[in-house]
């Protein structure tokens, strides 16, 4: 079945497994990238290999000129109605690597939405001028709805979800996977690892997407550490249980900090507070990493953070070899370039390029 076979009311009620198949191209990559669930292990491995090849090609001028030529005939709209710096610049840079011309809308006050135009109409307008829409929004489900809408229009161009509501952030999860794979590639790989997530797990969409992607790897243990008010939602625990994944829910990160393979820190997501000062009333003083904490971690472990950070990781950790958050951010540019290249069927050309 295809997207065009369903009304929106029918499509929105389909199980995730059916939606994933509707969004899949013949080569296995997504036509629209909306959910972490669209990626299985084979697709993840192929995408990470493509990112590594792009990274190597880009080291030389001739290689960069080759990459710049791949999509120089295409245009991309970065529609970021939710504040962002890293994700926006990462996608912007990824587009530039592949030669796409980029336009942006980052403030609804500068668009016709200020005049009352709906987001749906804004996106339909963008589709008249561009070949790809990369969108970030606080509105859950908007990217999915617009992917269905455009697929049923005369301009069925791809949409990439750069963060939607408190639910999905698939490309952040992709760069997290790429960072973990690179971190452990010379030390046994990503299978059989323990991952500790710390901080605001209730409202942090990055943890939701990453825990989903990690189910593609063998024997991954998930440890969720947060104050009770900010603990991971039950639906994620149910998902892991249904997959047979081992998990635990803790309030004290010291219980496992010294033996886990990766620590994934997150900031307090107080932009989602329902009342002023709601998050400030929660004691988060014990959910921070400083020199004492990082020194207690295994020498082979890694410390990640989707950024931006506040004080949950001290700057004195920045030069520790286990601190991967700066590499993690740069990896985002490469994996997003790989995703865009795969979206436009450039995979074979990139893999065939001879890197001397």
Give bridge partners of residue 76 from the DSSP assignment: 102, 132
CB 338 within 8 A of CB 50: yes
Q: Is 106 considered catalytic here?
A: no
Q: Is 152 helix (H, G, I), strand (E, B) or coil?
A: coil
Per the residue annotation, which of 33, 52, 87, 266 is the catalytic one? 87
Helix (H) or strand (E) holding 305: none
Chain centroid to CA 47? 13
**Other Cβ atoms closer than 10 A to 88:** 18
Q: Is 169 considered catalytic here?
A: yes
Place of tokens 């635990």: 248
Q: Output the six-digit token pair for 323.
A: 């601190």
Per the residue annotation, which of 86, 124, 166, 309 is the catalytic one? 86
Q: Is 203 considered catalytic here?
A: no
CB 277 within 8 A of CB 230: no
Distance of alpha carbon 16 from alpha carbon 22, whole angstroms: 10
Distance of alpha carbon 181 from alpha carbon 210, whole angstroms: 13
DSSP line for 97-151: HTT-EEEEE--GGGSGGGGT--HHHHHHHHHTT-SEEEEEESSTTHHHHHHHHHH
Per the residue annotation, which of 46, 53, 119, 136 is the catalytic one? 136
Per the residue annotation, which of 7, 59, 61, 115 is the catalytic one? 115
Could you tell me if residue 107 is left (phi over 0), alpha (psi between -120 and 50 degrees) or otherwise beta?
A: beta
Q: Is 136 considered catalytic here?
A: yes
Distance of alpha carbon 77 from alpha carbon 128, whole angstroms: 11
Q: Is 137 considered catalytic here?
A: no
Per the residue annotation, which of 19, 46, 119, 169 is the catalytic one? 169
Place of tokens 């958050």: 325
Supply the residues annotated as catalytic: 86-87, 115, 136, 169
């Amino acid at each position: 079945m295809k997207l065009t076979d369903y009304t929106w009311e029918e499509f929105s009620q389909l199980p995730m497994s059916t939606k994933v198949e509707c969004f899949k191209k013949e080569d296995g990559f997504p036509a629209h990238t909306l959910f972490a669930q669209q990626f299985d292990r084979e697709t993840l491995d192929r995408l990470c290999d493509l990112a590594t090849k792009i990274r190597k090609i880009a080291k030389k001028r001739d290689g960069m000129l080759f990459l710049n030529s791949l999509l120089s005939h295409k245009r991309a709209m970065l529609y970021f109605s939710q504040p962002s710096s890293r994700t926006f610049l990462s996608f912007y840079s990824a587009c530039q690597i592949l030669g796409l011309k980029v336009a942006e809308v980052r403030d609804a006050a500068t668009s016709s939405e200020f005049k009352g135009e709906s987001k749906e109409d804004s996106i339909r307008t963008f589709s008249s001028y561009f070949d790809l829409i990369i969108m970030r929004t606080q509105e859950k489900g908007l990217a999915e709805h617009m992917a269905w809408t455009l697929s049923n229009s005369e301009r069925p161009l791809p949409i990439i979800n750069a963060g939607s509501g408190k639910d999905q952030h698939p490309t952040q999860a992709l760069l997290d996977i790429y960072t973990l794979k690179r971190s452990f590639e010379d030390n046994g790989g990503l299978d059989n690892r323990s991952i500790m997530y710390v901080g605001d797990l209730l409202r942090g969409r990055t943890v939701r997407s990453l825990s989903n992607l990690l189910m593609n790897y063998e024997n991954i243990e998930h440890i969720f550490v947060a104050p009770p008010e900010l603990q991971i939602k039950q639906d994620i625990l149910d998902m892991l249980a249904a997959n047979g994944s081992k998990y635990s829910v803790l309030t004290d990160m010291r219980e496992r900090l010294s033996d886990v393979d990766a620590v994934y820190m997150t900031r307090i997501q107080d932009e989602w507070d329902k009342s002023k000062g709601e998050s400030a009333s929660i004691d988060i003083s014990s959910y921070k990493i400083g020199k004492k904490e990082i020194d207690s971690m295994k020498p082979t472990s890694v410390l990640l953070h989707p950024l931006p950070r506040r004080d949950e990781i001290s700057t004195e950790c920045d030069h520790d070899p286990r601190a991967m958050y700066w590499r993690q951010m740069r990896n985002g540019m490469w994996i997003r370039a790989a995703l865009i290249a795969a979206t436009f069927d450039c995979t074979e050309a990139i893999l065939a390029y001879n890197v001397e």
